[in-house]
Amino acid sequence: MHRREDMVKQEKRQRFFNINDNIDILREILKRLDGPSLGVAACVCRLWRSLATNDDSLWEHLCFRHVSAPPAASVKSVVVALGGYKRLYMVCVRPVLSRLGAESESDRRRVRRWRREEVPVAVVVQLSLSLFCIDSYERLHGNNNNPATASSGMIPSDASASSLMFLCNPINV
Amino acid sequence: MKREHHHLQSNLRDPSPSSMPTPPPPSSAPQPTSAAGAYSGYSIPNGTTSADGGMDELLAVVGYKVRSSDMAEVAQKLEQLEEAMGNAQDGISQLSNDTVHFNPADISNWLETMISNLDLPPPPPPPPLPQQHSVDSSSSSAAFLPQTESSTITTSMDRAFEDSSSSDYDLKAIAAKAIYTTASASADSLSPSSKRVKPSPAESSSSTRPLVLVDSQENGIRLVHTLMACAEAVHQNNLPLAEALVKQIGFLAVSQVGAMRKVATYFAEALARRIYGLYPENPIQHSFSDMLQIHFYETCPYLKFAHFTANQAILEAFQGKNRVHVIDFSMNQGMQWPALMQALALRPGGPPAFRLTGIGPPAADNSDHLQEVGWKLAQLAETIHVEFEYRGFVANSLADLDASMLELRPSETESVAVNSVFELHKLLARPGAVEKVLSVVRHIRPEIVTVVEQEANHNGPGFMDRFTESLHYYSTMFDSLEGSVNSQDKLMSEVYLGKQICNVVACEGVDRVERHETLGQWRTRFGSSGFAPVHLGSNAFKQASMLLALFAGGDGYRVEENNGCLMLGWHTRPLIATSAWQLATKSVVAH
């Protein structure tokens, strides 16, 4: 009697598809999410979280989503060297897009030069890469200051990587 | 009497905005000059008139010209007035009981009291509002008010707009507007003998507090006029007058808010330096000015715009070249080059070999600051796999350079670009320097020369023209800074600009290095030195527009294209201009 019930249960289980057992399909799905959704997905379970944080290709797809031509292979090595696609997205692409009102309806309050559909994404990517590089440059050297050289006018370490400060929104504490 | 004088003096001894020495304790004898000294809070030695023609500065701010020597008399008359009001019938006595002496320096408290106690009289006073103090201790109303109706005190306003340069002494307002009240016809009967009645605001019988109103918009206009008058005085070498005016500017500036206040303060400081001959020491701490420039870089888009547009032009000029060499006249922190290296790394076909020569002034503490910057850039280049070579040159002036020092390689193997951001105008201080530098650049035979300069004419021969131009220019610059978020960065940027203001206004000759010239003037200069313009492409325009849209004040910034050059401006006023040049003998590169 018991064995028959167990077998029925096992069959049922095999008929239901568990996404966590098929990580490649999961990856394909996550690749198509937008930024906020990807962040939400990272809160689902440990597996999803490790995918979202460690798998940079997800973020790569996010960055180049609307660019018509696929980016050159060299882009990947440069971006990885400068800090990775996730960081590129968080630090540059997302603020740029939201400032330009291209990401969400809630950004409509800013007067924008481009309407949402028209944002020239290629220029966004170019600009983001440049800003990202400047940011990496500052971070690379912001922490290398010792007091002896700080007086010679280099970027003080507590203000390191602040060239992108203009992209941050002010927070009322 | 003495008691009241002390009271008066202690009221009037205000901490004035600029830090003045504490006044001497109230002297017993109410002599005119010592009272003036104690009153105004400056240590004016007895018997000498102060430089402003003897007028009291504090009252001058609000519209009255009263000689400091007469202040004691005015105080006496005020007390008499108070007495008279106490004795008079018809309920005026309530005024003397209810009046409160306000310390003119304690403006915020006074305003609060006004606002909380104010009962508006039934006919509201029509605009424009006059400049008046009523029964404030610094009021100079010196007439007895004979039997007037208790409900309203009307005024006859006489006004004359006067420049403080006239030494006409009378209790005349410097600038004021008329106020008419609906009630009484006894207005004209109020004028007593020698002095005009100072206007007091209309009151209804229910209101007990006198109204005191200061019009800050009018102060703004007066501030500009005073700035111009002071500059004119300096130009004509009328130093006593200029000194008085400069102090006035200081007071007027405090009544403003925002950008106007800061601009006025910096210009006042520069004028003061010029008057007193305190030219700023010239080498400014290099590390300090570096730090200021870093904050300026972060706060506002001007430097970023300059870098991005120049990089775009250089990138396009280096298309297809395998070995490239950039000579940077404005090395500073090298913030321009990471973005160019990244763009070179990502270009189709792979990055070229990138060589950078940085030229800068010697560091004050003898550290090899240029080498450090080069080392940092080298690290970045290694990260993104760009072959990198660096050389740093220390030079006091660009004119000291020679093409042979730069170790140029033959042009078949290496293409050269020359870059200068806000550096070329400094050469105009010495005759012949800029021509020499341009000829050195010609010897280098570059593919492209990128130049970014301020778009203003601060190099005219006449001081007044320079002053006016720079006043407009820096007002616009400060306006554009107002939108920025980080207040410390904003402050640093303002100090950075303030140094430039100081140089334009206070220095002369070789010391005056901020000799900005307009794009048109640079075009002529480059054209006559054998260069032809290169048009900056639409890609540069798009990138620049997008960059500006990201800044907090993004709506105010404008990118304009001017015959192939890009100009960044705030609303309608262009502020900086990027242009690109190549040797005139070369054929135009198709974009």
B388 beta partners: B354
pTM of the model: 0.66
Residues B343, B305: Cα–Cα separation, whole Å: 16
Higher-pLDDT residue of B61 and B296 is B296
**Chain B residues lying within 8 Å of A98, measured CB to CB:** none
Position A117 pLDDT exceeds 70: no
- Closest-CA residue of A relative to B364 is A152
From A45's Cα to the closest Cα of chain B, the distance in A is: 35
Nearest-by-Cβ selection for A100 from B290, B345, B549: B549
**B127: Cβ contacts below 8 Å, ≥ 6 apart:** none
Average pLDDT over residues B62-85: 75
**B338 vs A137: CB contact, 8 Å cut-off?**
yes
Q: What is the length of chain A?
A: 173
Query: At what angle are helices B369-383 and A121-142 packed, to 10 degrees?
Result: 130
Radius of gyration of chain B (CA): 31
Q: Which of A142-156, B141-155, B494-508, B525-539 has the least mean pLDDT?
A: B141-155
- Closest-CA residue of A relative to B366 is A152
- A-to-B residue pairs, Cβ atoms closer than 8 angstroms: 120
Mutation target to probe the A interface, by most A beta carbons within 10 A, among B307, B337, B380 is B380
What is the phi/psi pair of residue B575, to 5°? -115, -40
**Chain B residues lying within 8 Å of A166, measured CB to CB:** 298-299, 301, 484-485, 550-552
Residue B112 has a pLDDT of: 61
**B379 vs A140: CB contact, 8 Å cut-off?**
yes
Amino acid, single-letter form, for residue A64: F
Q: Which of B140, B122, B141, B135 is nearest to B94 (CA)?
A: B135
- Closest-CA residue of B relative to A137 is B380
B324 beta partners: B354, B415
Q: Which of B238, B122, B298 is nearest to A168 (CA)?
A: B298
Q: Inform me whether the C-beta atom of residue B365 falls under 8 Å from chain A C-beta atoms.
A: yes
Position B468 pLDDT exceeds 90: yes
Band of pLDDT at residue B453, cut at 50, 70 and 90: very high
**A82 vs B549: CB contact, 8 Å cut-off?**
no
What whole-number percentage of chain A has pLDDT above 70? Answer: 64
**B271: Cβ contacts below 8 Å, ≥ 6 apart:** B227, B230, B231, B234, B242, B246, B249, B505, B506
Q: How far is CA B436 from the centre of its chain?
A: 34
Mind listing the pLDDT tens digit for each residue in A145-155?
433 333 333 33
Interface of B with A in 239-258 (CB under 8 A): none
Q: Please give the torsion angle defined by the CA atoms of residues A149, A155, A160 and A164, in that order, rounded to the nearest 10 degrees.
A: -160
Q: Inform me whether the C-beta atom of residue B286 falls under 8 Å from chain A C-beta atoms.
A: yes
Are the CB atoms for B52 and B159 separated by under 8 Å?
Answer: no
Mind listing the pLDDT tens digit for each residue in B108-137?
665 666 666 654 344 433 443 333 333 333
**Chain A residues lying within 8 Å of B552, measured CB to CB:** 166
Residues B60, A58: Cα–Cα separation, whole Å: 69
Nearest-by-Cβ selection for B542 from A75, A120, A130: A120
Q: What is the DSSP pairing of strand B323-328 with strand B415-421?
A: parallel
DSSP A44: S
From A116's Cα to the closest Cα of chain B, the distance in A is: 14
Residue A159 has a pLDDT of: 40
From B394's Cα to the closest Cα of chain A, the distance in A is: 15
**A152 vs B554: CB contact, 8 Å cut-off?**
no
Position B282 pLDDT exceeds 60: no
**A82 vs B384: CB contact, 8 Å cut-off?**
yes
**Chain B residues lying within 8 Å of A145, measured CB to CB:** none
- Closest-CA residue of B relative to A144 is B376
SS3 B520: helix
Over chain B, what is the mean pLDDT? 73
Return the exposure string of B96-106: e unless at least 16 CB atoms fall within 10 Å of the residue's CB, then b. beebebbbbbe
From B390's Cα to the closest Cα of chain A, the distance in A is: 16
**B535: Cβ contacts below 8 Å, ≥ 6 apart:** B563, B564, B580, B591
Interface of B with A in 522-561 (CB under 8 A): 539, 542-543, 545-547, 549-552, 554-555
- Closest-CA residue of B relative to A112 is B549
Nearest-by-Cβ selection for B385 from A77, A113, A154: A77
What whole-number percentage of chain B has pLDDT above 90? Answer: 31
Average pLDDT over residues B134-149: 36
Higher-pLDDT residue of B523 and B152 is B523
Q: Inform me whether the C-beta atom of residue B129 falls under 8 Å from chain A C-beta atoms.
A: no
Q: Which of B13-22, B245-254, B356-365, B436-445 has the least mean pLDDT?
A: B13-22
**A99 vs B554: CB contact, 8 Å cut-off?**
yes
**B367 vs A99: CB contact, 8 Å cut-off?**
no
Residue B253 has a pLDDT of: 86
For residue B164, what are its two tokens? 């403080």
Mind listing the pLDDT tens digit for each residue in B190-208?
333 333 333 333 333 444 4
- Closest-CA residue of B relative to A75 is B346
Residue B222 has a pLDDT of: 87
Residue A2's CB: how many other CB atoms inside 10 A?
6
Residue written as token pair 């006409």: B168
- Closest-CA residue of B relative to A149 is B367
Over chain A, what is the mean pLDDT? 72
Residue written as token pair 């460690």: A54
B389 beta partners: B355
SS3 B533: strand
Average pLDDT over residues B572-587: 88
**B372 vs A154: CB contact, 8 Å cut-off?**
yes
Interface of B with A in 294-323 (CB under 8 A): 294, 297-299, 301, 308, 311
SS3 A104: coil
